Chain A
């Protein structure tokens, strides 16, 4: 990605231009809705109402948001090290496998307060391990991480299908799912926790893992901007040659950054397996890993931005489901389309509007200088 000209003030670069990009993406989405004969304004209203207008909608929105925070952070931290982790999908899959195996092994013997950290550790370890192989290959064998992580998505898929169909399936049933976890191995749902303190809300899949997602945001922020390792990581991502002279070890950084990235992606499994489904099953990553790319690009690789972008995608997912339910000609795939447009405009074409904005900004400065000169004279 080319750098924006330095003369623009910070608020335009990190505030205005991303907003312009999102508006462009939404504009094109609106044209698509228009093209299939629906009213884009009405569609937008249904989406927002469906996502934020009532308790159940909000619960689902935040549940989707949880997954996007994990995968968005995963892509973001890799970006800071100059790596493109396109394998979030596979890492989430294998991370979920780790969570599931750990809980299946210990849910009858250990209490909840031990199973909780065990689930987190297992998800992180499996996700990190799945990312570590492409990272090692990139660092020590020179193979391109984009290609290897794509390949590892497919390999993860094959591994999971094999394990679920042949090994982990609960005997005596057709669908490839494991047995349900015991109660100690299930994260409490938000509606259960709120009921405990006397607040009643509609049951939704939203669960304790959203708290962990927010903690991860703080952790990633602190790691990247407040530790020596984070400094080293950003230095390597920015200019590897210069970083080497400053004493950084790029190979270690590549492996470390990808392990953290994979661990974060693996937490999707923590939310889905331990928080929602309470059993191992197929296809639970459902594209969250790819959406993480859009989330990270939109959030400019900053945890605060990632949370905001995750919320927006949560609204899109839940609102899109509602929209598909209410308007028969519109399907859920509209959300996928919008997601593609967001990646296009805030990623690949991120600096398309910069020359225009720069021109307007310069004209504004010149006009202001002229006005000040006239006042002085």
Chain B
């Protein structure tokens, strides 16, 4: 799990989609020529056009862009919730879509976190967190023990028996992350998980996500519209532009880890953020 992450590689940038300088190790998640068109009421919407991306094992990738640039669409395709119109996605060498059908086997090691926590209100935190384990047939005792462990990990100790409505927004999102981590996924897909949180909570969650990533060693694809959040977390930042959604650039973030809130005040950090913002404004 601890293959070399590309964070040490020199800060080379590509403007051409398709060539991936970042992934030095083996690619765990490979997106090749993915296209997505929707049949909307006002005709066809070209959501994604020829997206190519190769993500290394243990790498942290941020997808940024304006709303409507297709970043959520791309993540939903990666998560197997939406079939691509054309192109292929492979995880650990297995195609995740087989003729328009989701290949459930390939998703064994995927963890998903959405913008909303999406906890089931009829389950306690412990039952929510261990739901994936229940689906995998784990016994009640073992599930309970694992739930306690996970609550500890995400900073919710003692909340096992609370119901979701008794938690604050940040705590619910922590529980959702715990649920996604419950079966030790090697790929974690996150769609603006902290979008609904206030700035202070968000900073805190970012720090915690960083340490969880370091501990669990999973590959992470993180969708956000906040450039500084993207840069803070990622090994590489993938910038998407809309109509049709395509990859505009991929920027390595060679900042040392673990990063702290002071990192955000460093010159390197701010240079990368400024450049990315510039690029977004150019559209």
Please say whether chains A and B are actual partners in one complex: no
- A positions within 8 Å CB-CB of B: none
